[in-house]
Amino acid sequence: MQFTQIALDERMRELTQHGAGDFPIQFYIDELFRFPGQCIPLHWHPELELWQARGGDVTVQLGTESLTLADGWAVFINADVLHSFRKADAAQALGCPNVVFRDELIAPVTSRIHRLYVAPLLADWQLPYIVFRPGVGWQAEFLHRLDGLFNTLQAEAPGHELRVQNQLTGLWELLWAHRAELPATGTQKAERLVQVRTQKMLRCIHTQFAAPLTLDDIAAAAGISRSEASRCFQACLRTSPVGYLTWYRIEMARRALAAGQDTIEEISRACGFQSASYFCRVFRRETGQTPLQYRRGG
């Protein structure tokens, strides 16, 4: 199976252009099983995002917070918030609709509307995300309108741009009207520093995973101690730096095996393992299969 990849820069910023320059919104259906590890990896972007769980529950990482979106729930993710999505049940087939868009589509950044109604929510550090549940009155209405936006974007019928802007503005108006009911979920400055440090260490792992990296090397990428590096990874990724390094090497090996071109020994070297035999042991421990079984499709 061909994996879906997200292009990221050294700071974990997503490089995808969402929509067109003159219509900056894009509709997606994320099928999590198509991503390595059935997970959309940690990333961030300057655009806003509305993402809904469909077909099952989804575990969402938002900065240092972790929460579960039940089937039918949705989440609004503010600009520049580090986030990832993982299937709560590996057996479920999820197709999760979402839109990524720029705030200027609601109103021009120089307008009174943007200044009074858009910018205050975007700048509120206590609202990095908002969860919407069907059982809450106005939130149920929000989800109903969000479904309408998804349908309009998917159909792309003539004049859909007008309907999209109208629906998006209506969603924002509903959000603004109930802003006093939104729970403060923001992170403190110290937690934002944890995210920045983690991003630097992830960049080190993603670019140097083929090298014999140590915990000291990973910590040095962020200019911190080994213990602080471990704390950052536990806060953001719920694992250790070395544990994440191993996971990432295995994911890279999965991709190479799926391509079916290189030998097991070549793949083990390219993914930073000391020997082919050690690589096979780790791969089987992590996946329940040998590399050859994985290549043959189990």
**Do the beta carbons of residue 6 and residue 41 sit within 8 Å?**
yes
DSSP at 45? -
DSSP 8-state assignment for residue 124: -
* Neighbour count for residue 133 (Cβ, 10 Å): 14
Q: How many helices (H) and strands (E) does the chain have?
A: 11, 9
Cα–Cα distance, 289 to 279 (Å, whole number)? 12
How much is the pTM? 0.73
Token pair belonging to 277: 């035999």
8 torsion bin: left (phi>0), alpha (psi -120 to 50), beta (else): beta
Write out the chain's pLDDT in tens, 298 residues. 556 778 877 667 899 999 999 999 999 999 988 887 788 888 889 999 999 999 999 999 888 788 999 999 999 999 988 899 999 887 888 999 999 999 999 999 999 999 999 999 998 878 889 999 999 999 999 999 999 999 999 999 999 999 999 999 999 999 999 999 988 765 555 676 787 788 789 889 988 999 999 999 999 999 999 999 999 998 887 889 999 999 989 988 988 998 878 999 999 999 999 899 999 999 999 999 999 999 887 5
Per the CB < 8 A criterion, the answer to whether 46 and 217 are in contact is no
Contact predicate 69/57, CB 8 Å = yes
